[in-house]
């Protein structure tokens, strides 16, 4: 269990920190950390740990002070995937589908954070552990780290990224190889495939992540938020739609950089008129209501 200070919410009050048993949540200034804490089980994702991870991600999402989230594992291993010993507790096929949809929500919540996320990987990152890394923005691993999707040898299929996010990151042919064969792979191959960013010396993981965090915190944080949004949205869209996101982001950047006002914009007058039910609001509504009346 961990004691932690949490970031401020939109209402100005810190949200209550729930008690965690299977992970640790920490904050130090603009950096939050989630540490999977079941080392005796190689940090396998128990149902309780998954629930706690969603709660921790919600703390990060609501915080305006946190800029970077680092996810790691206790005991020299990242995460050995779902806790297979619990799977018979998932229930009937409908309940299994609900559980998998919850895990998809968990991964999407991580991927959609408006903070930069870093997976710091040592030891095993397999199955669900690998799926977590694929939902992060950066993955830095030790050279001894290993990864893979061994579900095929258990007679199950991945449910929250092992086929979908992976195919978007490395293509369908390599995704089939990784999933059909189920072999564990060295960290260097994940880097070669573009699945992870860097493999560093086994004793350099912490300092390498700290160096990356330092660089990220030196950037314009609003620009990082915009970049993450347009990259994540654009990769799922056709080229014209994706470039539309780039155009709108450029306009927002211009506005935030103080490049001048648009003469025929409202500059907030429409909002003020609606709240006060002023002349501008009444005129616009009357014109709209009177148009094309039979």
Does 270 score more than 90 pLDDT?
A: yes
Average pLDDT on 267-277 reads: 95
* Neighbouring C-alpha atoms within 13 Å toward the C-beta of 65: 16
- Residue for token pair 């306009």: 251
Q: Which of 112, 151, 206, 261 is catalytic?
A: 151
The answer to whether 64 is a known catalytic residue is no
Domain assignments of the chain as residue spans, ordered by start: 23-218, 222-290
The answer to whether 52 is a known catalytic residue is no
pLDDT of residue 76: 93
- Contact predicate 195/134, CB 8 Å: yes
pLDDT per residue over 107-121, tens digit each? Answer: 999 999 999 999 999
- Three-class DSSP category at 96: helix
What is the number of H-type helices and E-type strands within the chain? 11, 9
- 225 CB-contact burial (10 Å; exposed 0-12 / middle 13-18 / buried 19+): middle
pLDDT of residue 16: 60
Does 6 score more than 50 pLDDT?
A: no
The pair of three-digit structure tokens given for residue 237, joined into one six-digit string: 């869209």
Per-residue confidence at 19, pLDDT binned at 50, 70, 90? confident
This model's pTM is above 0.85: yes
pLDDT per residue over 156-176, tens digit each? Answer: 999 999 999 999 999 999 999
- Contact predicate 148/130, CB 8 Å: yes
pLDDT per residue over 206-251, tens digit each? Answer: 999 999 999 999 999 999 999 999 999 999 999 999 999 999 999 9
- Three-class DSSP category at 31: strand
CATH fold of the domain at 23-218: 2-enoyl-CoA Hydratase; Chain A, domain 1 (3.90.226)
pLDDT of residue 294: 75
The H or E element spanning position 223 is: helix 221-234
Q: Which of 131, 210, 261, 279 is catalytic?
A: 131
The pair of three-digit structure tokens given for residue 4, joined into one six-digit string: 């932690």
């Amino acid at each position: 269990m961990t004691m932690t200070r949490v970031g401020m919410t939109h209402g100005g009050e810190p949200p209550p920190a729930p008690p965690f048993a299977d992970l640790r949540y920490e904050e130090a200034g603009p950096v939050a950390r989630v540490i999977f804490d079941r080392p005796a089980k190689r940090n396998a994702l128990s149902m309780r740990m998954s629930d706690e991870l969603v709660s921790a991600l919600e703390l990060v999402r609501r915080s305006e002070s946190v800029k970077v989230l680092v996810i790691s594992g206790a005991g020299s291993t990242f995460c050995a995937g779902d806790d297979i010993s619990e799977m018979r507790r998932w229930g009937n096929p409908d309940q299994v589908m609900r559980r998998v949809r919850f895990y998809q929500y968990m991964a999407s919540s991580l991927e959609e954070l408006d903070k930069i996320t870093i997976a710091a990987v040592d030891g095993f990152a397999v199955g669900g552990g690998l799926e977590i890394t694929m939902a992060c923005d950066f993955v830095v691993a030790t050279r001894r780290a290993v990864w893979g999707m061994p579900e095929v040898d258990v007679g199950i299929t991945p449910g929250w990224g092992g086929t979908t996010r992976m195919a978007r990151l490395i293509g369908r042919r390599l995704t089939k190889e990784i999933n059909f064969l189920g072999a564990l792979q060295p960290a260097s191959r994940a880097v070669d495939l573009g699945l992870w960013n860097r493999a560093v010396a086994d004793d350099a993981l912490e300092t390498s992540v700290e160096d990356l965090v330092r660089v990220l915190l030196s950037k314009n944080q609003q620009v990082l938020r915009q970049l993450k949004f347009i990259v994540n949205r654009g990769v799922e869209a056709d080229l014209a739609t994706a470039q539309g996101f780039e155009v709108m982001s450029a306009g927002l950047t211009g506005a935030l950089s103080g490049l001048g006002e648009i003469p025929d914009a409202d500059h907030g007058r429409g909002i003020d008129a609606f709240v006060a039910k002023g002349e501008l609001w009444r005129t616009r509504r009357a014109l709209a209501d009177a148009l094309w009346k039979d």
